[in-house]
Amino acid sequence: MPLILSLKNNKLSKLSLALQALPMLEYLDLSENIISELDCLDFRDLTRLKSLNLMSNRISVLQGCVFEKLKDLEDLNIGENEVIAFAGAFTLPYFGKLKLLNLHNNHLDELQQGAFSSLSSLRDLDLGTDKDFAVELGAFNGLDDLESLTVSLFQYYRELFSGLPSVKNLRVFFIFSTPPGTFQPYNISLFSNLVNLTTLTVKGVELYHDFIKADVLSGLKSLERLMTENFFTNPLHPDTFKYTPRLRSLQIIYSNLLQLSPEVFWPLTNLEELDLSNNNLRSLDFLAEAKLSALKFLKLSENEVSIINETIFQSLPALTYLDLSENLLTCECSNSGFVRWATSNNQTQVANGYRYICAFPVSQRGERLLDFDVRSCWMDVSFLCFVSIAALILLVLLSSFIHHFLRFHLIYAYYLFLAFLYDNKRRKGDVGCQYDAFISYNVCDEAWVYEVLVPELEGQQGWKLCLHHRDFEPGRPIIQNITDAIYSSRKTICVISRHYLQSEWCSREIQTASYRLFDEHRDVLILLFVEDVPAHRLTAYHRMRSVVKRRSYLSWPRAAGHPAVFWQNVRRSSRGQ
């Protein structure tokens, strides 16, 4: 059994001579006393000592001779003292086995080059403090096997950590920054030489926020855990974590982050733990597109989140732990989805979920969020769904009715409206008639038109006719050509047959022409039937049907034996006003 002696908290001002009678002592605890000075003879006979704890005393100077007999010493704790100088204590060769050295929170003024040159076996070094002291370039030379380092800095050099090839765990406290424009500490890649670093802890005190740049983590290709406090205080650059693809745990706390961009987290495909507590986050929407498919632990406590969309957690398939305590949650229907998810999901533990207190509205303040009755929200949603579906059904029925029974009336009204607009335009322009007649016919009746009608009217009677193939302007919309032709002609001659009644464009032509006949009281329409058409076939053309019933029309079949009379009637019709 190792020999252990604890003299902790005994108000010792100096070491007792009785210690010299314990040469076999291996572990000595002298912490929390009032020892202010160490003599070169204090540990002379304790040659087998492996662990020495002098923490929380008043030691100010370490003389080189104090530890020269402690060649087996592995653990030396001088933290929480008043040491201002080492006096070469760690440059002598007798510390060949020392693995852990704690100098935390002393009064050091500076670390000179080679200050630990004899500690080649050191694995853990703690130099953390809340005081300002300088670290010279090369201060860590000789610490080739150092794995864990805690240090406070107020000056920064690119090569500051260049002599630490084995460091895996680094804790840095930035305790002082000069005003903007005088010094730019974060413009350098301070950690770029720590290629084997796996854990980095960074805490900032009185940092000027514009110092941190996107490449501050460059070179940390092996980093797995990153913990920061009051460091990333500006919106993070999307490239901040592209240098740390192996990161599994990320903590950004006390950083006043009002918002985050999802692109920041895209390089972190292996991230399993994320702590964003003690910020001022007001929305968690960035998580929906952050692509954190491996995230298991998520802590968002002490932010200003009021509304939580439960769909966010659908984008976090591996999440097993969630902490949203101390947020400004609202007990309204906007959070009903999250309440339902938090009480029903079997995968994610919502830490202290039943202690979440409502901050809004005022009437619900102090109530538990998970006690909020979400059934009232579902009733509202159900009613809205009912109204929406009923309105949709009525709209479909009405559309079907209109299409089946009124489509021809609507189409007719549409073209009458176009004709009305066109006629008003022509009236304002006072445009005269360019043609005697516009011939409206179906292509199936084209032979009769060009072999019989056109030769008679243009050749014998001297009419100037408007014909599709000859007078329509190429490149213009067909409906514009039709409307221009009708309103540029004194008459419109409709060559009516069964094929004509089946043609969409012929239908539009006669509808436009009939507008002038009935709405302007101008006799501009001549109906010329080239074959007998029963009256019931004119149902779709109710305007034309009323014309046929009210007044005479010209029938080519009935004039087969008297063509001269037929053409005389055409000439007479052309003179009507």
CATH of the domain at 514: 3.40.50.10140
In terms of phi and psi (left: phi > 0; alpha: psi -120 to 50; beta: otherwise), the region of 275 is beta
Please tell me the predicted confidence (pLDDT) of residue 78. Answer: 96
Q: Give one DSSP letter per residue of 185-202, joined into a string.
A: GGGS-TTTT-TT--EEEE
Least confident range of 21-35, 176-190, 436-450: 176-190
**Looking at the 3D structure of the chain, how many domains does it have?**
1
Question: pLDDT of 61-73, one tens digit each?
Answer: 988 888 889 999 9
Q: Which residue has the tokens 């632990």?
A: 297
Determine the Cα–Cα distance for residues 289 and 149; give it in Å rounded to an integer: 36
pLDDT, mean of residues 550-558: 70
Is residue 162, in this structure, part of any structural domain at all? no
Q: Which residue has the tokens 């960035």?
A: 286
Determine the Cα–Cα distance for residues 342 and 79; give it in Å rounded to an integer: 46
Element (H, E) at 489: strand 489-496
Question: pLDDT of 521-533, one tens digit each?
Answer: 566 778 888 888 7
Look up residue 215 and give its amino acid.
D
Please tell me the predicted confidence (pLDDT) of residue 186. Answer: 47
Tokens of 45: 């006979």
pLDDT, mean of residues 480-496: 83
Phi then psi dihedrals of residue 517, to 5 deg: -70, -45
Please tell me the predicted confidence (pLDDT) of residue 425. Answer: 59
Which of 525, 359, 521 lies closest to 440, judged by CA?
525
Find which of 311-320, 378-387, 544-553, 555-564 is predicted with most confidence, using mean pLDDT. 311-320
Determine the Cα–Cα distance for residues 168 and 226; give it in Å rounded to an integer: 12
User: 160: helix, coil or strand?
Assistant: coil
Is residue 503, in this structure, part of any structural domain at all? yes
Question: pLDDT of 95-121, one tens digit each?
Answer: 889 999 999 999 988 888 888 988 999
In 402-477, which ranges are continuous DSSP H helix? Answer: 407-429, 446-448, 454, 468-471
Which of 221, 147, 228 lies closest to 186, judged by CA?
228
Element (H, E) at 350: strand 349-350
Q: Say whether pLDDT at 415 is over 70.
A: no
Tell me which residue range forms the domain holding 553. Answer: 409-574
Measured from the Cβ of residue 337, the count of other Cβ atoms closer than 10 Å reads 18
Which of 18, 100, 16 lies closest to 53, judged by CA?
100
Q: Which has the higher per-residue pLDDT, 439 or 547?
A: 439
Question: pLDDT of 338-358, one tens digit each?
Answer: 999 999 999 999 999 999 999
Determine the Cα–Cα distance for residues 170 and 248; give it in Å rounded to an integer: 16
Is residue 265, in this structure, part of any structural domain at all? no
Q: Say whether pLDDT at 386 is over 80.
A: no
Please tell me the predicted confidence (pLDDT) of residue 489. Answer: 86
Q: Say whether pLDDT at 517 is over 60.
A: no
Is residue 480, in this structure, part of any structural domain at all? yes
Is residue 519, in this structure, part of any structural domain at all? yes
Integer CA distances (angstroms), 379 to 372, 373, 374, 385, 549, in order: 14, 11, 9, 10, 61
pLDDT, mean of residues 212-223: 89
Is residue 486, in this structure, part of any structural domain at all? yes
Please tell me the predicted confidence (pLDDT) of residue 519. Answer: 53
What is the pLDDT of the chain when averaged over all its residues? 84
Is residue 397, in this structure, part of any structural domain at all? no
Determine the Cα–Cα distance for residues 167 and 196; give it in Å rounded to an integer: 7
Provide, for the chain, the percentages of residues in helix, strand and coil under a 3-state DSSP scheme, each rounded to the nearest 5.
30, 15, 50
Question: pLDDT of 262-272, one tens digit each?
Answer: 999 999 999 99
pTM of the shown model: 0.65
Question: pLDDT of 47-56, one tens digit each?
Answer: 999 999 999 9
Counted residue by residue, the chain has a size of 577
Q: Say whether pLDDT at 200 is over 90.
A: yes
Question: pLDDT of 416-426, one tens digit each?
Answer: 666 566 656 55
Is residue 282, in this structure, part of any structural domain at all? no
Q: Is the peptide bond before 474 cis (omega within 30 degrees of 0)?
A: no
Question: pLDDT of 77-87, one tens digit each?
Answer: 999 999 998 87
